[in-house]
Amino acid sequence: MEPSSVTTLSTGVPFRPALRTRAYSVTIKGSFGKVRLPRALLEPIHKSRALVQDDASHRGHSPLSPSFADRSRLLRLWAVTELLPEFPYHPDPVATGVIVPSGTVCICCGRERGYVYKGPVYAADELAYRLCPWCIADGGAAERFDAHFTAGTCLGDDVALEVFAAVDQRTPGFTAWQEPQWFFHCADGAAFLGPVGSAELAVYPEVLEMLRREANGWGWPSEQVEYFLASLDKDGEATAYLFRCRVCAAHLAYTDFA
């Protein structure tokens, strides 16, 4: 690209790539925390006509010009700071690990959005690692590919079909040892908080009691049930999956294992 050429960011902001590095930087708050971007990346947004003329006279020969690779990296950082869509039934899919920063081009919208979904997809097409969060949130992926993000297995209350569809077709799923199951409570889908183990569950005695009842129902002796509950590990071979009701705030969980 010629130093004086003008291109456009996805935000529609005019951007000239040939810039001189400045010693200061700007902090941008994104969904992924704070990212400090060198002023060189942001400068074109504010650049005055006088500075443009000044740059043209230098034709990018400044020894302080950031390299193309540097600018590419900075632009990637810029893309990653785009705010993720909100998922009412899976409030932090980055923390639960199913949405990750990535340079993947989304197979649905054809754009590189800075993130890709790596959770389960139930569809005829192979969509794993190929959908951006935005095409999940707006239902575009579900509509275009008849994609579902749950295995269709529900726990808890019966709910209206549209409530189930909001979870099944517009919410990132999660990975479990067996087919993942979603909790419904108070006529709504519960919010998935993530995989947890006995350490995380220590502050949820009511959830531990719920899991104890579940394991007792399997006909296990009580010592085996207690051993099982103590062995739960969010990264181990027996894991609990924690939800919170969006209506009554009750915490809910179930377990599975390898």
Burial class (CB in 10 A: 0-12, 13-18, 19+), 202: exposed
Residue with smaller CB distance to Zn ion, 129 or 177: 129
Q: Pick the stretch among 33-41, 76-84, 109-117, 222-230 that binds Zn ion (CB under 5 A).
A: 109-117
Position 248 contacts Zn ion (CB under 5 A):
yes
Task: State which of residues 193, 245, 252, 253 lies at the interface with Zn ion (CB under 5 A).
Answer: 245
Show the tokens assigned to 115: 């993130």
Contacts of 82 by beta carbon, 8 Å cutoff, 6+ apart: 30, 31, 113, 114
Nearest CA to 251 out of 199, 197, 208 is that of 208
Position 127 contacts Zn ion (CB under 5 A):
no
Position 123 contacts Zn ion (CB under 5 A):
no
Task: State which of residues 186, 212, 233, 238 lies at the interface with Zn ion (CB under 5 A).
Answer: 186
HEC states along 136-195? HHCCHHHHHHCCECCCCEEEECCCCHHHHHHHHHHCCCCCCCCCCEEEEECCEECEEEEE
Position 187 contacts Zn ion (CB under 5 A):
no
Residue type, 131: L
Q: How many CB atoms lie within 10 A of CB 209?
A: 11
Contact 116, 169 (CB under 8 A): no
Q: What does the alpha-carbon distance between residue 228 and residue 223 come to, in Å, rounded to a whole number? A: 9
| Residue 137 CB, nearest approach to Zn ion (Å) | 10
Phi (first) and psi of residue 182, to 5 degrees: -115, 140
Position 165 contacts Zn ion (CB under 5 A):
no
Position 132 contacts Zn ion (CB under 5 A):
yes
| Residue 198 CB, nearest approach to Zn ion (Å) | 24
Position 108 contacts Zn ion (CB under 5 A):
yes
Task: State which of residues 79, 106, 136, 196 lies at the interface with Zn ion (CB under 5 A).
Answer: 106
Residue with smaller CB distance to Zn ion, 159 or 201: 159
Position 121 contacts Zn ion (CB under 5 A):
no
Residue with smaller CB distance to Zn ion, 141 or 215: 141
Tell me which residues touch Zn ion (CB under 5 A): 106, 108-109, 132, 135, 185-186, 245, 247-248, 250
